[in-house]
Amino acid sequence: MKVCYIAHISGNVQGVYFRASAQQQAIEYNISGYARNLSDGDVEVMMCGHPENIERMLAWLHEGPELAQVTQVQSKQVALQDFSFFSIS
């Protein structure tokens, strides 16, 4: 069974390799979707995969890569979507 979640990550999350690091984690957790910068300085991450892997990814998003300073993560389950891989945009 697969599920999809979208997360909105706030803090110092742009210019610190957040998206590339999220992609590495997603590959490790067998998650498809995307990570993209938002115009307000936040990052949006779409994740589709098995629920236990999504939980692991959500936990990672609260920390992010070493240089990130995550202040808030808001996430919600969304309709199942079919992504072939995890992309960065």
Q: Which residues are catalytic?
A: 19, 37
CA dihedral for 15, 4, 6, 70, sign (positive or negative): negative
CA dihedral for 7, 26, 42, 70, sign (positive or negative): positive
Question: How far is Cα of residue 58 from the mean position of the Cα atoms in its chain?
Answer: 7
